[in-house]
Amino acid sequence: MDIKKLIVNNSGLKITALLLAILVWALISGKERTFLDKSLEIEVENLNVSKMIDVRNRPETIRLKIKGTSKEMGKITPDDFKLRIDMKDINESTRFSVFTEDYLEYPKDIHIESIHPKMIEVTAREFFYKEVPVRILYTGRLAKGISIIERKIIPEKVRIFGYRAQLININTVFGAEKIDLSKIHSNTSLKIPLNKGKEILRFDDFENVTVNISVENINAKRKKK
């Protein structure tokens, strides 16, 4: 076999094939080394939050601009990024700020180009239960000859729930409606809703009370005679 002829024959075709192989390798290699930018929005999370603490983050989401190879960026999803603030030692109302980058978790092969905002404000408010008496307000006057023997509110006290800072100065809960005494002519039982107002988030047990009014009607006794 003539080695020289074997090498020389179809040399143009062989050189073309070699160049094509080099070009394909360069394209693949270049694609792997190409860097891409991407923007993401990540939700701020809170871990180990007590049931008696309400947490608000400001802002609730952050914006990231990230950079990586096309290969790595093709795999990336927002779920690969976490921003979690541990609240395990927070048991009372407080407010504090943290640096966003200190709590950001992300894949090691990704470069963070920018973070907005740089800081997050965390507000924790303590929930609170409190038992307070109920007070019912009245309007009008009893008709002549009618007098009240007894007034009873059931229950006399209710348990309210809300933020400690807002409930601390609430010592009484009022009925949402006044009782018109001019309409009371005999023993009466009325269901009265309670006034929650803005400070009370909810009533823990009763939202209404029953008011029993016992009266003496002198006019009715005279008619019987």
Q: Tens digit of pLDDT for each residue in 87-120?
A: 999 999 999 999 999 999 999 888 999 999 999 9
The answer on pLDDT for 23 being more than 90 is: no
Does 35-126 match 136-224 in CATH topology?
A: yes
Topology of the domain comprising 35-126: RNA Polymerase Alpha Subunit; Chain A, domain 2 (2.170.120)
pLDDT of residue 69: 87
Report pLDDT for 31: 52
- The pair of structure tokens assigned to 147 is 């007098």
| Residues 31, 72 contacting (CB under 8 angstroms) | no
Q: Residue 6: its pLDDT value, please?
A: 46
Cα(144)–Cα(185) distance, integer angstroms = 10
The fold of the 136-224 domain, in CATH, is RNA Polymerase Alpha Subunit; Chain A, domain 2 (2.170.120)
pLDDT at 206 over 50: yes
**If you average pLDDT over every residue of the chain, what do you get?**
87
* Confidence class for position 17, pLDDT limits 50, 70, 90: low
Indicate the domain borders of the chain.
35-126, 136-224
For the cut 50, the answer to whether the pLDDT of residue 79 exceeds it is yes
Highest mean pLDDT among 27-41, 66-80, 98-112: 98-112
Q: What was the pLDDT predicted at 73?
A: 84
Looking at residue 218, its pLDDT comes to: 78
